[in-house]
Chain A
Amino acid sequence: MSKELFKTVILKTLPILTGYIVLGIGFGILLEKAGYHVGWAVLMALSIYSGTMQYVGVDLLTSGASLITTAVVTLMVNARYMFYGVATIDRFKTAGMRKYYMIFGLTDETYALLCSSTPPKSVSRHTFDFLITLFDQLYWVIGCILGVLIGAAMTIDSTGVEFVMTALFVTIFVDQWRESREHLPAVIGVVISVVCLILFGADRFLIPTMIFITLLLTLIRPILRRRHGEPSVETMKEEGTEESVHLESTSERKEERT
């Protein structure tokens, strides 16, 4: 890799560098507190590579969740990844074997970055996309390792540090609320969860919650369609937000499919 290309990739991924290091540290501290050593952090950062699910994963490990619960929770939490796959098909399909790693590495942040950046003239699009994906995961792995090490060395009282997960979800919730014109799904998510928590208790409410959320979202589909046309992530987003930037190929594909 030329020095210039290296510099370009670092500059492009700089916002993700800070974000992943800090969030990775948060995860590492939680994992260390749950009694898992640095090898587990590396394993999870390399194989799962999904911030939200790694945070939730610490809880699943602590509570000894069944594999079925784990699968259902992952399916619901990460359902959005399907769209990153759809949106990148045309862009990745000629990338050869590197394609599989690039698909694996489609996190929220990497997807957003790939959507909004163009490679320098001297390198191919695929090489550029591949390097961005690789560097992002590298930052994440480093952050997770640092977190465990910091967690183990921390001499101050760490009571309450688990709130980092709540805080992360609050910021995502606020961002989603602002970028969407339709708040019904978010309201349904909160209300159904609270009702199920009261009815089924803290250890058992997750699966019924997800069933009822899916049912209710299915029922309100005609209402949302009347308000917004066929609702999708795109049509419900406020215009002009960062998230509405898409890969060039997305619009073509959509036309082709509708």
Chain B
Amino acid sequence: MISQTHALGIVAVIAAVSFGLRFLPYLLLGRHTTPKYITYLGGVLPYAIMGMLLVYCLRTTTLTVYPHGAPEAIAIALTALLQIWKRISLLSIVCGTVCYMVLVQVVF
């Protein structure tokens, strides 16, 4: 485990940057408008970043050794299908997680 100071630093940086982003428009607007390029990036980034976070979650999954990422693939497919079909995020998340836990503990 990392040192308490390091951990506090990480929490402080996340908190400061998150609030900074929420507060930035209040600092900038009023004096001048947000640059078009920043508006554009803010519009498209969320879509790309969510793709990145998905890959980030799966970064330690190895496809070359047994079970070749099968539990992940099955649980993701179930979560996605439920979300497409029922559109209830909590249902999809809970079912996907329970499915994954059963797969890694009992099946594979």
Chain A interface residues (CB < 8 Å from chain B): 18-19, 22-23, 26, 35-36, 40, 43-44, 47-50, 52-54, 56-57, 59-61, 64-65, 67, 70-71, 74-86, 89, 103-104, 106, 157-161, 163-176, 178, 180, 182-183, 185-190, 192-194, 197, 202, 205-206, 209-210, 213-214, 217-218, 221, 224, 230-234, 236, 257
Contacts and interface: CB of A to CB of B under 8 A. Distances in A.
Interface residues of B, number: 68
B11 A48 contact: yes
Nearest to A100: B23
Given A217-B41, A230-B40, A173 B51 contact: yes
Interface of B: 1-2, 6-7, 9-15, 17-19, 21-26, 29, 33-34, 36-60, 71-72, 75-76, 79-80, 83-84, 89-90, 92-94, 96-97, 100-101, 103-105
B52 A213 contact: yes
Contact of B53 (A77, A103, A180): A77
B11 A170 contact: no
Contacts of A174: 80, 83-84
Contact of A161 (B19, B26, B101): B101
Contacts of B59: 197, 202, 205
Contacts, number: 257
Contacts of B2: 61, 64
A76 B18 CA distance: 10
Given A47-B15, A70-B13, A185 B21 contact: no
B76 A166 contact: yes
11 contacts: A19-B89, A22-B90, A40-B7, A61-B7, A61-B10, A173-B80, A174-B84, A175-B89, A183-B47, A190-B51, A202-B59
B78 to A, nearest CB: 9
B40 A231 contact: yes
Contact of A213 (B23, B38, B48, B101): B48
A103 B36 CA distance: 22
Contacts of A230: 36, 40
* Consensus secondary structure, chain B interface: helix
Contacts of B90: 18-19, 22
B22 A84 contact: yes
A65 to B, nearest CB: 7
Contacts of B17: 71, 74-75, 78
A169 B53 contact: yes
B44 A53 contact: no
Given A171-B93, A210-B52, A79 B45 contact: yes
